Amino acid sequence: MRGAKLLLDCLAKEGVEVMFGYPGGSVLDIFDEFKNYPIRFILTRHEQGAAHAADGYARASGKTGVCIATSGPGGTNLVTGIATAYMDSIPMVAFTGQVPTNMIGNDAFQEADIVGITRPITKHNYLVTDVDELPRIIKEAFFLASSGRPGPVLIDLPKDVLQAETKMTYPKKAEIPGYNPVYVGHPKQIKLLAQAIQKAHKPILYVGGGTIASGGAAELRKLAAKTMMPVTTTLLGLGVFPEDDPLSLGMLGMHGTMYANYAIMDSDLIIAVGARFDDRITGKISEFAPHAKVAHIDIDPTSLKKNVRVDVPVVGDVRLVLKELNKIVKPGKIGPWIRQIKKWKKEYPMVYKNDEELRPQYVIEQIRKVTGGEAIIATEVGQNQMWSAQFYSFTEPRTFLSAGGLGTMGYGFPAAIGAQVACPDRVVFDIAGDGSIQMNNKELTTAVTNKIPVKIAILNNSYLGMVRQWQEMFYKKNYAGTILDGNPDFVKLAEAYGAMGIRIEKKKDVVPALKKALKYPGPVMMDFRISREENVWPMVPSGVSIKQMISGMT
């Protein structure tokens, strides 16, 4: 069998249903074989879109996303998408074409050292030099991408390897010496954690995306119900715990709720669950949670003690560790703590100026209402992302897709396309800024031609809003480079691509527009002309203690 055919054979055996990508000379042998395999190929209009779509597919479904690009510029165009997936631990396998092996290093046409370029942004990568190694490498790649702490893996495929013949077949198992993720937590550590919980007076569960990746939401909910410990989540953890549960404190950190930040700062036990103490969470690290003991559950041992000291480390799969913990844990005496938290929640609610103006927070609340909270929400980056996190009220895992670690503008729309492919029966929104959407709006063609009915809600403030907010607060309102007065007419833009466009300028038109968009069977781009200089509150300025949080509410 030729290498190219063997590759698709292996992918079919791996259960790959869909690949996002873009062709070019060095991968044409693979494209030539697509007709013989039941793998859906979705042609995006830029390789970045393909990588984000594979990422969105993975986040929404829990399966490994797959993308493909040609050598040279095709591979380098994938880089932002791969880095985004890497930062957020998303399982992905990316294939790139490469010049023939005898030309590698010759500055051949469309040659780029993609293995070198992506080494720091992949969990692992391979240059295949012998077709006989291809099946083993593919098996390993899918295993690595989805096991332990998930992440992207890249396989670089020289053209002569794809054209060479081999008798090898797909192996049943991957065996990688030295790679043995620890899934089962050490019983002694779990016991220590249970004791710490029972002793604590002010415990808090601080939960991140790793809990969603492990499928640990149900065990987490059980733990909270059993112990009555309050739960706060990171951006990537949104949905893992229902935000309408009285124990939920919503999101913490730079734009988290006042009460989540007060609670973590005042706590005496932080139980970090599949989270990594990112600087957007901790603020100034030396002043973070001064009275707290820290317990940390994570599958990646290198994550422990990276940013904060840890008193009770538990290395293991979050779901399995919580399952064991739930068998032995007993609630502590935390009545006064719960009362204190209730008081904070009452004193510092998440509110916004809900007047006659078209406010972004109102739009987000209405998206939740008209979809019954059942939608999958992808976001771009900036204010749109933070308002979505603050005001949608997520209740289920895998319903909030956002580039948390890398903060990639342009992520949301192609990720929403990938999510819609994974979940054809769900409503999928991209909540966007007018700046971010322009980074990948070309994918409207992908959505229209493939009948992918994603709804885009642009919160249009004609600014690079989040950066403008920083300029307002820290640069004396010097709005250098952030005024987007040359925006296109987004309604006409949508129509030019064959999608529906709707402009909404008044509050009263929000719900009718959303209903119209939901009724329409194809992609819709909604241009919400929001109050221009709205800010995201509360806010912890970068690099200071969480205690210096600004409520912004007057």
Q: Which is nearer to ligand TPP, 108 or 467 (CB)?
A: 467
Q: How many residues bind ligand TPP (CB under 6 A)?
A: 20
What residues have CB less than 8 Å from 28, skipping those under 6 apart?
none
Query: Using N-to-C axis directions, what is the helix angle for 47-61 and 73-87, rounded to 10°?
Result: 30
Q: Which of 408, 420, 441, 445 binds ligand TPP (CB under 6 A)?
A: 408
Residue type, 23: P
442-445: list long-range contacts, CB under 8 Å, 24+ apart: 442/45, 442/46, 442/49, 443/44, 443/45, 443/46, 443/49, 443/53, 443/413, 443/414, 443/417, 444/493, 444/494, 444/497, 444/498, 444/499, 444/523, 444/525, 445/45, 445/497
Q: Which is nearer to ligand TPP, 394 or 528 (CB)?
A: 528
Token pair for 548: 């210096």
Stretch that binds ligand TPP, among 189-197, 239-247, 281-289, 433-441 (CB under 6 A): 433-441
Distance CA 450, CA 444 (A): 10
Q: Which is nearer to ligand TPP, 214 or 388 (CB)?
A: 388
Q: Which is nearer to ligand TPP, 207 or 525 (CB)?
A: 525
Verify binding: residue 461, ligand TPP, rule CB under 6 A.
yes
Give me the residues paired with residue 548 across strands.
none
Verify binding: residue 100, ligand TPP, rule CB under 6 A.
no
Question: Would you call 327 helix, strand, or coil by DSSP?
Answer: helix
Token pair for 511: 């719900």
Verify binding: residue 463, ligand TPP, rule CB under 6 A.
yes
Give the gyration radius of the chain's Cα atoms.
24
The DSSP letter of residue 336 is: H
Verify binding: residue 388, ligand TPP, rule CB under 6 A.
no
Q: Which of 72, 332, 405, 435 binds ligand TPP (CB under 6 A)?
A: 435
Verify binding: residue 380, ligand TPP, rule CB under 6 A.
yes
Verify binding: residue 526, ligand TPP, rule CB under 6 A.
no
Verify binding: residue 459, ligand TPP, rule CB under 6 A.
yes
Q: Which of 436, 440, 445, 471 binds ligand TPP (CB under 6 A)?
A: 436
Verify binding: residue 402, ligand TPP, rule CB under 6 A.
no
Length of the chain: 554
For the bound state, the minimum distance from the C-beta of residue 434 to ligand TPP, rounded and expressed in Å, comes to 5
Please give the residue whose beta carbon sits closest to ligand TPP in the complex.
433
Cα-based distances in Å from 8 to 323, 470, 477: 38, 48, 55
Verify binding: residue 549, ligand TPP, rule CB under 6 A.
no
Question: Would you call 77 helix, strand, or coil by DSSP?
Answer: helix
Q: Which of 90, 213, 466, 514 binds ligand TPP (CB under 6 A)?
A: 466
Stretch that binds ligand TPP, among 13-21, 265-273, 388-396, 461-469 (CB under 6 A): 461-469
Verify binding: residue 429, ligand TPP, rule CB under 6 A.
no
Cis peptide leading into 538, omega within 30 of 0? Answer: yes
Verify binding: residue 383, ligand TPP, rule CB under 6 A.
yes
- Give me the active site residues, please: 47, 109-110, 159, 466
Which residues are near ligand TPP by CB under 6 A?
A: 380-384, 407-410, 433-436, 459, 461, 463-467
